[in-house]
Amino acid sequence: MKNLILLTVGILFSLSASSQILKPVKWSYAFKKTSKTEATLYLKATIDEGWHLYSQNMADGGPVKTSFTFAPSKAYKPVGKTIEPKAITKFEKSFDMNVSYFEKSVMFQQKVKLTGANAIVKGTLEYMVCDDSQCLPPETVDFSISVK
């Protein structure tokens, strides 16, 4: 009986050790002050080989598009929409539609009007990634960018 318990624990441990959590996207943040009262935020996604991160600009009914939400603050105000470079667009059978996505890396930019000396821009971003065989559930990430 003791051997059976040890064997079961050993199998469970080896299974949990061999399974890994997929994190094919790493986010990084930066800013550039363009004047005393304006700055551009840079939200960069570095995407593992073989994975696709979906654009903000897609029709409904497909994968979850990337989106950005900025927390209300007296220290800053977003100006316009978050911009992105030109995405790759192609028909994907799994969604039965044209989808727009990025590979390897993408830099999103958001202009902000600064109303305080030291603004901390906070918010969340939501995104979804797929490779040729699977899609991961949408993920929401909190971010904080200190603009000095």
- Short-list 95, 82, 76, CA closest to 147: 76
- CATH code for position 102: 2.60.40.1250
Task: Give the residue numbers spanning the domain of 105.
Answer: 24-147
Provide the pairing of β-strand 25-33 with 38-47: antiparallel
Indicate whether 40 belongs to any domain: yes
Half-sphere exposure of 27 (CA within 13 A, CB side): 19
Whether 5 maps to a domain, the answer reads no
| Number of domains present in the structure of the chain | 1
In order along its 148 residues, the chain shows pLDDT tens digits of 444 343 333 333 333 444 568 899 999 999 999 999 999 999 999 999 999 999 999 989 999 999 999 999 999 999 999 999 999 999 998 899 999 999 999 999 999 999 977 899 999 999 999 999 999 999 999 999 999 8
HSE value, Cβ hemisphere, 13 Å, CA-based, for 144: 2
What pTM value is reported for the model? 0.84
Tell me whether residue 73 is in a domain.
yes
* SS3 assignment, position 120: strand
φ, ψ for residue 83 (rounded to 5)? -100, 155
Q: Does residue 17 lie within any of the structural domains?
A: no
User: What distances in angstroms separate CA 48 from CA 13, 17, 27, one per listed residue?
Assistant: 27, 22, 12
